Amino acid sequence: MSKFAALLPPTFTRTIEAWLAEDIPSFDYGGFVVGDAPKTATLYCKSPGVLSGIPFFNEVFRQTGCSVTWDIEEGAEIVPQEGKVSVAKVHGPARRILLGERLALNILARCSGIASRARRLREVADRMAFLGVVAGTRKTTPGFRLVEKYGMMVGGADTHRMDLSTMVMLKDNHVWSTGSITKAVEAARGVAGFSIKIEVECQSIEEAFEAIDAGADVVMLDNFVPDDIRLAAVEVKTRGVAVGRQVLVEASGGITEETAHLYMLPGIDIISFGTMTQSVPHVDFSLKIDH
């Protein structure tokens, strides 16, 4: 049911185990009330969105001793008719269904919310005939990053860097701490090796030129307004050609779903959105035992 499930590390099952332990640290009083009678529960979607997070949902119920059958494939757009639509069935003892209910719903709701925003941003890019990358950022929830990055991917967006070890991104604090963009890039290149890209956050075209001359692979034009970034992107590309390298240009900083189209310009290779994970409305799911 999920073409992206094979990407997940085997250790993600331990994360689910830890979340279950957090939610049920001692006695399960509600589970005692309902007992172990075999039941089937229906998963309903009650608001529009992109379904995402199936492997995590499945694993929650696998660990509680239940099974799940799905009626809708991951990545599909759900538009509830008459208030709700059936998405899946969970089978197992009543207390074990309720044991995993809230954790599974929390994961699915947020993951689907992120996938939905990613899909909308990707659709804006397609309407604008934008050939660049629509990406998330590392503005993720501690402990929940894998789920959030997974949602971006299901929605059709790029995950950007997964963590601090994936790519070198030199921001203003790095530059201030080392004294200059040039020194920061040189220090990074000394340890990063040939396989790791170096990106530099730049506040002006002068900083972008310094980053290119120092050997940066990606220049982030941060908090530029659309009219300024249109010109700056062309200048950055020209400077890259002049030094014999293809430099990627990323637009970032305060770009929202409403303003995204203004940044989908020639010369922009990547647009990153912190809003892909921040302040994202969740998709509304509920799980009801059939009766």
Residue 133: which residues within 8 A CB-CB, separation 6 or more? 158, 269, 270, 271
240 and 268 share a domain? Answer: yes
**pLDDT tier at 20 (50, 70, 90 boundaries)?**
very high
Which of 16, 22, 23 is CA-nearest to residue 57? 16
158 and 223 share a domain? Answer: yes
Domain tally, the chain = 2
Residue 54: CATH number of its domain? 3.90.1170.20
Residue 169: CATH number of its domain? 3.20.20.70
265 and 148 share a domain? Answer: yes
163 and 284 share a domain? Answer: no
Provide the residue count of the chain: 291
Cα–Cα distance for residue pair 90/40, rounded to 1 Å: 6
111 and 160 share a domain? Answer: no
pLDDT for residue 139 is more than 80:
yes
197 and 57 share a domain? Answer: no
Cα–Cα distance for residue pair 144/34, rounded to 1 Å: 31
pTM above 0.75, yes or no: yes
Task: Note the pLDDT of residue 72.
Answer: 97
Residue 180: which residues within 8 A CB-CB, separation 6 or more? 210
Residue 171: which residues within 8 A CB-CB, separation 6 or more? 201
pLDDT for residue 82 is more than 90:
no
Which residue among the candidates 89, 139, 171, 183 is catalytic per the annotation? 139
Cα–Cα distance for residue pair 286/283, rounded to 1 Å: 10
Contact 157, 136 (CB under 8 A): yes
138 and 109 share a domain? Answer: no
Cα–Cα distance for residue pair 95/4, rounded to 1 Å: 30
Average of pLDDT values for 79-107? Answer: 96
Strand partners, 282: none
Cα–Cα distance for residue pair 89/117, rounded to 1 Å: 26
Task: Please tell me whether residue 129 adopts helix, strand or coil conformation.
Answer: coil
Segments of 121-269 assigned E as strands = 133-135, 168-170, 198-202, 218-222, 248-252
Residue 26, token pair as written in the block: 């001692």
Tell me the Cα Rg of the chain.
23
pLDDT for residue 256 is more than 90:
yes
Task: Note the pLDDT of residue 83.
Answer: 87
Average of pLDDT values for 122-149? Answer: 96
144 and 249 share a domain? Answer: yes
100 and 188 share a domain? Answer: no
Residue 229, token pair as written in the block: 């970034």
**pLDDT tier at 1 (50, 70, 90 boundaries)?**
low
Give the ranges where 49-93 is alpha helix by DSSP (H).
54-63
173 and 243 share a domain? Answer: yes
Task: Note the pLDDT of residue 80.
Answer: 92
Could you read off the pLDDT of 271-284 as tens digits, one per residue?
999 999 998 999 99
Going by their DSSP bridges, the two strands 248-252 and 218-222 should be labelled as parallel
177-196: buried (b, 16+ CB within 10 Å) or exposed (e) per residue?
ebeebbebbeebbeeeeeee
Cα–Cα distance for residue pair 230/264, rounded to 1 Å: 9
129 and 112 share a domain? Answer: no
Q: Provide the domain limits for residue 194.
A: 125-276
Average of pLDDT values for 215-239? Answer: 96
92 and 233 share a domain? Answer: no
pLDDT for residue 286 is more than 70:
yes
Cα–Cα distance for residue pair 149/115, rounded to 1 Å: 9
Could you read off the pLDDT of 149-178 as tens digits, one per residue?
999 999 999 999 999 999 999 999 999 999
Packing angle of the helix pair 205-214, 181-192 (nearest 10 deg): 30
Average of pLDDT values for 216-226? Answer: 96
**pLDDT tier at 291 (50, 70, 90 boundaries)?**
confident
Query: Is 139 noted as a catalytic residue in this protein?
Result: yes
Average of pLDDT values for 119-139? Answer: 97
Q: What angle do CA 125, 145, 259 make, to 5 degrees?
A: 25
Could you read off the pLDDT of 38-68 as tens digits, one per residue?
999 999 999 999 999 999 999 999 999 999 9
